[in-house]
Structure 1
Amino acid sequence: MAIPLTAGPPATASTRLMWAILGLVLLADALDMIDATVTNIAAPTIAAELHGGEDLIKWLGSAYMLAMGVLLVVGGRLGDKYGQRRLFLIGMTGFTIASTVAGLSPDPALLVIARGAQGAFGALLIPQGMAIMTRTFSRDMLAKAFGIFGPLLGVASVGGPILAGFVIDADIAGLSWRPIFLVNLVLGVLGLALAVRLLPHDEGDASIRVDGVGSGLLAAAMFGLLFGLVEGSGSGWPAGAVLSVVVGLVFLTAFARRQITAADPLLKPSLLRNRGFGSGLLVGLIVFAATTGLVYVLSLFMQQGLHASARDASLGLLPMTVGIIVAAGACMALIKRMGRTLILIGLAVILAGCGWLLVLVMASGTDLSLWDLAPAVFLTGLGMGTCYGTIFDVAIGDIHPDEAGSASGSLSAIQQLAAGAGSAAVTSIFFRSTGSGLGHAMTTSLIVVVVLTAVTVPAVMLMPRRAPQGLQH
């Protein structure tokens, strides 16, 4: 996410302290990134051992991302009101406890609840790090910090699935998948100790109001839409699923109205009237949903269709992650000059990669190796990285500086919600199609991803032509 460099005041911390705080913030963000992706590989093993079936696979990632997305904007506001240091400590503590509960869960229900709690506390934790750095770092240090954020978090995104694959394969102390969550107990305690020692004290601003009604409406809307989408796509759209979607849309409409009438809205009304920003939200929502769903079903196809182990499947997805990192890094130098053209290029590359995968699966079904898939997987990753590194930067190209905070929080929340919806919905479509074979299920899923990606092209043309000046990743 691009951050205005003009936000930071003069430095109030020594250079050594600033680097230490940066390390702590990176640790917190890495925990989030790893736990957001770790179930991409681990889900089939977890579902098999806890007898959770397809429903558990669908909700392992979605519960985390839904809670994170719904509360992310609120988390930032709470930090402003009560102090970033206090919210950081609360978030880290809750995340550590929830991770421990997830690792010790004896049944699917408790595990899904723990995953939701991880996402909720993560939403309190993650916004505080950026706010603390913006408030205490010098402009030069802030530029250095944001310059290394992308690559290091890219490594964390690689680390999640690879960690899961190797931990499950190692079967440490006979615990199978559980250490992928229990490791957070060690990292979380370390993070808490560092936070208590390093983070500057701040009292917050008691005059800031948090729109509880708006937050509740957004939560109800997202849950209704996601639950209906998951259950409907997986079971032929029964009446309950359709009703859930309708109720979600009603709450979403009420939320939009609340943003116009509330004294302190979560989302500035002017953003809702900004065509370029709204188009960026739509493009981001669909692209993140489609591509996150693709990653999930690719993992399932590799493990269930190609009979790859969890470790081999994690390595099978590695070309995609490498492609994401390479493309995102290249876009840092190109975004100001090429703007939305980069998004169109990224969408074209995603379509080419998915088309290549589609041809392979239609021709050979499950008679494929991970090496056969690797070039197409890498190409798809290049397209994803190009879009990930540009959509949201371009979306804020013509907003007013006063709207930057609200816009950034909204875009981050949309990314999390889209990832949750996409992983659940595309996975549901995959499972519903397995009756005709796993090759057919993968083919159907790829067609859905291709269609979703293609329909975003007209919306890209409504986005701002350029990203705003004065931004640094």
Structure 2
Amino acid sequence: MTTSTTPPGQAGELRKDRRPAPDVEDAQRGTNPADAKAGTSAGRQPGSASADAQAGSASAGGQAGLASVDAEAETTPAYRWRWIVLGTVLVAEIMDLVDATIVNIAAPSIRNELGGSTSALQWMLAGYTLAFAIGLISFGRLGDLVGRRRLFVIGAVGFTVASALCGVANSPEMLIGSRVAQGLLGAVMIPQGFAIMKAVFPPHEIGKAFAMFGPVMGLSAVAGPVLAGVLIDADWFGAGWRMIFWINVPIGIVAIAGALRYMPEVKTPGARGLDAAGVILVSLASGLLIYPLVQGRELDWPLWSILMMIASVPAFALFGWRERRSGNPVIDPSLFRSRGYVAGLGVITTFFLAMSGFTLVFNLFTQLGLHYSPLKAGLAMVPFSLGIAIGAPLSGGLLAPRLGRRALQLGIVVMTLAMVGVWFTLRAHGTATTIWDLVPATLFVGIGAGMVFAPLFDIILASIDDQAAGSASGVLTAVQQFGGAIGIAVIGTIFFQLLPAHEFLGAAKTSTLVSVGLFVVSLLVSTLLPARARQGAPAH
């Protein structure tokens, strides 16, 4: 990898100070930022410690070509502005994560003002997540070709503009389109920041730098829903829910300014091209599956919706065929020769499908069924986020090094039992359920989620060779986001399908049991995972 410096006054400094970036595995040995984020966002919801959403996502296609650091480079000075680069990447991450978590809280208020069907409400959430997942597959490698700083700036500018457009949306269609743009541009921005960090930080500091993501992302996950409630209830300037998008504008300007002034340009010589046909096929297959899942219910499941879902199967098969024959595959086909890795994809899909569906239904039920204000609904999510902050270090630092896969499985069990606790709480208190009634169960749902997030990626990646770990991690992150989009579509559809007959309480209880069943499936599939993370790769 070659690096050059664009920031004023730093011409040539990075070439002199820095050598090729450390391999993705080196970054993961410290703390995988993807895991940090994952720990805070399930399908971009709080708790997605795979979240990861992002060191792995950074590598989603960009790891090819990253070189190891040589011994001589250890003695060269580090890039002068590396900590400001870290701050800039953190600002971008906060903007992206907070935006993803606060929309759940704002969804009922948005629908009250803009109108639209329940499927439009689902698209406000699933459109973002699906676009982010597809974008992760493409834009990591694109950064190798055109420059990571350039793409980071493009993504940050685009994300900021899309946020402003969300804030002025006057129809559900405009808001959904702007949300899709946010997802795509977030996928342009996020991977580049992590790749640049791996280029500017020396090996002895990279772990410390990535470790910053855990507390910052955890705090963002806790603050996001509460911030949404505060902004909506405050109704400053009569903006209401629109302020949750407009707040991204000044944050985005800070990220853009930091990138333009302090970020170096990073490219990979000889980087492989982008398989445009593969990207189109996976996008088509995903749309064939998710579109009818969201739209079919309110149209009473017409024949075309069934045919589209059936057609998604050969579309995904065609994508797999294309990848096996492409010289520049979007996803390395050799990854699927590992039973443990394939099992890991199954665990991630079912786990985040269940969790994203649960968080959607929980936020809708507290506001529409229990008539909580947006602020009160945001506060009801705090125990869940705090539980993640407790469970992740408990599992990553204490249990996973000793128990390996069993620590992850224990987390799924804790989460499943806690979800049953949510069901019993709703059954016992009905529409009189208070925040305090929900605290014990939601706290342990979060603890269980954190226990899963921390070791999940490392354990799955133990089934993959070191040289393929970067690409494999990127695929895991994209699948996590895809699972979240499916969860919003499937469990959201079940919730709204049940409303006419069961009212909000019955629909919420049934949807919760569906999530419980999916967690049980995730637990069963987890028995096929490697017994523990590879030695020297502690769980995050």
TM-score, normalization: structure 2?
0.84
Structure 1, residues 404-425: CA drift from partner, whole Å, max 9, x if none?
Answer: 1211110110111111221232
Q: Is contact 1:85–1:201 with CA below 8 Å preserved after alignment?
A: yes
Query: How far does residue 332 in structure 1 lie from its aligned partner after superposition?
Result: 2.1
Aligned to 2:385: 321
Query: How far does residue 291 in structure 1 lie from its aligned partner after superposition?
Result: 0.6
Aligned residues: 473
What secondary structure, in the 3-state scheme, does the structure 2 residue paired with 1:145 have?
A: helix
Query: How far does residue 5 in structure 1 lie from its aligned partner after superposition?
Result: 4.2
Aligned to 1:343: 408
Aligned to 1:4: 28
Q: Is contact 2:384–2:446 with CA below 8 Å preserved after alignment?
A: yes
What secondary structure, in the 3-state scheme, does the structure 1 residue paired with 2:241 have?
A: coil
Q: Is contact 2:79–2:200 with CA below 8 Å preserved after alignment?
A: no
Query: How far does residue 394 in structure 1 lie from its aligned partner after superposition?
Result: 1.0
Query: How far does residue 342 in structure 1 lie from its aligned partner after superposition?
Result: 1.4
Q: Is contact 2:144–2:271 with CA below 8 Å preserved after alignment?
A: no
Q: Is contact 2:231–2:240 with CA below 8 Å preserved after alignment?
A: yes
Alignment of 1:404 with 2:451, yes or no, is no
Q: Is contact 1:65–1:419 with CA below 8 Å preserved after alignment?
A: yes
What secondary structure, in the 3-state scheme, does the structure 2 residue paired with 1:202 have?
A: strand
In structure 1, distance between residues paired with 2:510 and 2:77:
54
In structure 1, distance between residues paired with 2:266 and 2:449:
38
Structure-to-structure mapping, 1:283-294, within 5 angstroms: 283-294=347-358
Q: Which runs of 5+ in 1 are unaligned?
A: none
Aligned to 2:522: 456
Structure 1, residues 255-310: CA drift from partner, whole Å, max 9, x if none?
Answer: 11112111111211110111101101111011011011101111111111111100
Q: Is contact 1:287–1:452 with CA below 8 Å preserved after alignment?
A: yes
Query: How far does residue 53 in structure 1 lie from its aligned partner after superposition?
Result: 3.3
Identical counterparts, % of pairs: 38
Q: In 2 relative to 1, CA 250–325 (structure 1 residues): closer, same or farther, beyond 3 Å?
A: same
Query: How far does residue 143 in structure 1 lie from its aligned partner after superposition?
Result: 0.6
Q: Is contact 1:151–1:329 with CA below 8 Å preserved after alignment?
A: no
TM-score, normalization: structure 1?
0.96
Aligned to 1:199: 263
AA in 2 matched with 1:392: F
Q: Is contact 1:84–1:204 with CA below 8 Å preserved after alignment?
A: no
Identify the match of residue 299 of structure 1 among 351, 363, 374.
363
Aligned to 2:108: 44
Alignment of 1:366 with 2:431, yes or no, is yes
What secondary structure, in the 3-state scheme, does the structure 2 residue paired with 1:29 have?
A: helix
Greater Cα shift, 346-355 or 363-372: 363-372
Q: Is contact 1:31–1:184 with CA below 8 Å preserved after alignment?
A: yes
Query: How far does residue 105 in structure 1 lie from its aligned partner after superposition?
Result: 0.6
Query: How far does residue 163 in structure 1 lie from its aligned partner after superposition?
Result: 1.3
Structure-to-structure mapping, 1:406-425, within 5 angstroms: 406-425=471-490
Structure 1, residues 426-458: CA drift from partner, whole Å, max 9, x if none?
Answer: 122111111221110111101110111111222
Structure-to-structure mapping, 1:111-126, within 5 angstroms: 111-126=175-190
Identify the match of residue 215 of structure 2 among 151, 154, 171.
151
Structure-to-structure mapping, 1:34-433, within 5 angstroms: 34-205=98-269, 207-232=271-296, 237-333=301-397, 334-433=399-498
* Structure with the higher helix share, 1 or 2: 1
Query: How far does residue 359 in structure 1 lie from its aligned partner after superposition?
Result: 1.2
Q: In 2 relative to 1, CA 232–349 (structure 1 residues): closer, same or farther, beyond 3 Å?
A: farther
Structure 1, residues 87-122: CA drift from partner, whole Å, max 9, x if none?
Answer: 111111111111111111111001000000000001
In structure 1, distance between residues paired with 2:389 and 2:117:
33
Structure 1, residues 146-196: CA drift from partner, whole Å, max 9, x if none?
Answer: 222122111112222111111000001000011111111111111111101
AA in 1 matched with 2:357: G
What secondary structure, in the 3-state scheme, does the structure 2 residue paired with 1:469 have?
A: coil
In structure 2, distance between residues paired with 1:402 and 1:190:
35
Greater Cα shift, 405-414 or 206-215: 206-215
Aligned to 2:18: none
Query: How far does residue 331 in structure 1 lie from its aligned partner after superposition?
Result: 2.1
In structure 1, distance between residues paired with 2:80 and 2:390:
30
Q: Which runs of 5+ in 2 are unaligned?
A: 1-23, 31-66
Q: In 2 relative to 1, CA 302–13 (structure 1 residues): closer, same or farther, beyond 3 Å?
A: farther
In structure 2, distance between residues paired with 1:146 and 1:335:
19
AA in 2 matched with 1:445: S
Q: Could you say what the CA RMSD is over the residues aligned between the two structures, in angstroms?
A: 1.8
AA in 1 matched with 2:338: N
AA in 1 matched with 2:184: A
In structure 1, distance between residues paired with 2:401 and 2:300:
45
Q: In 2 relative to 1, CA 94–206 (structure 1 residues): closer, same or farther, beyond 3 Å?
A: farther
Query: How far does residue 235 in structure 1 lie from its aligned partner after superposition?
Result: 5.6
In structure 2, distance between residues paired with 1:330 and 1:140:
25
